[in-house]
Amino acid sequence: MSTNRKKALIALSGGVDSAVAAALLKDRGFHVEGFYMKNGFPGKSETEARSAADKLGISLHVTDLTGPFRKEIVDYFVAEYLSGRTPNPCVLCNKKIKFFYLIKLAEQFGFDHVATGHYARIEDLGTKYGYRIRKGIDTKKDQSYFLSRLGQEELGKIIFPHGNSTKEEVKEMAAKIGFGSLVKKESQEICFIPNNYRDFLEKYSRESLPRPGNIVTVKGQTVGRHRGIHSVTIGQRKGLDISSDRPYYVLETRKDTNEVVVGRDEDQFFGGLIAKDISWVSPAYLSSKDIEARVHIRYRHRGVDSTIVKHTSDGEGNSALVTFEKPQKAVAPGQAVAFYQGDIVIGGGWIERGIKLD
* One-letter amino acid for residue 33 of the chain: E
Domains of the chain by residue range: 7-184, 210-263, 268-355
Regions of the chain short of the pLDDT cut 70: 1-3, 43-44, 184-189, 312-317, 358
CATH H superfamily, domain 268-355: Translation factors (2.40.30.10)
pLDDT for residue 44: 57
Residue 93 is a catalytic residue: yes
Looking at the domain that runs over 210-263, which CATH code has it been given? 2.30.30.280
Q: Which residues pair with 132 in a beta bridge?
A: 123
Element (H, E) at 66: helix 66-69
The alpha-carbon radius of gyration of the chain (Å, integer) is: 22
**CA distance to 98, 239, 260, per residue, from 67 (Å):** 14, 35, 34
- Report the alpha-carbon distance of residue 233 to residue 348 in Å, rounded: 21
pLDDT for res 43: 62
Instruction: Determine the distance from the C-alpha atom of residue 345 to the mean position of all C-alpha atoms in its chain, rounded to a whole number.
Output: 13
Residue-wise DSSP of 273-316: EEEEEEEESSGGGGG-SEEEEEEESSTT---EEEEEEEE-TTSS
Cβ contacts of residue 295 below 8 Å, gap of 6+? 303, 304, 305, 306, 308, 322, 324, 337, 338, 339, 340
Catalytic residue among 93, 216, 337, 346: 93
Catalytic pick among 105, 191, 308, 322 = 191
CATH no., domain 7-184: 3.40.50.620
Q: What is the pLDDT of residue 2?
A: 45
The arrangement of strands across the sheet holding 113-115 comes to 60-64, 31-38, 7-11, 113-115, 158-159
pTM for the complete prediction? 0.92
The pLDDT value recorded for residue 202 is 86
User: Does residue 90 carry a catalytic annotation?
Assistant: no
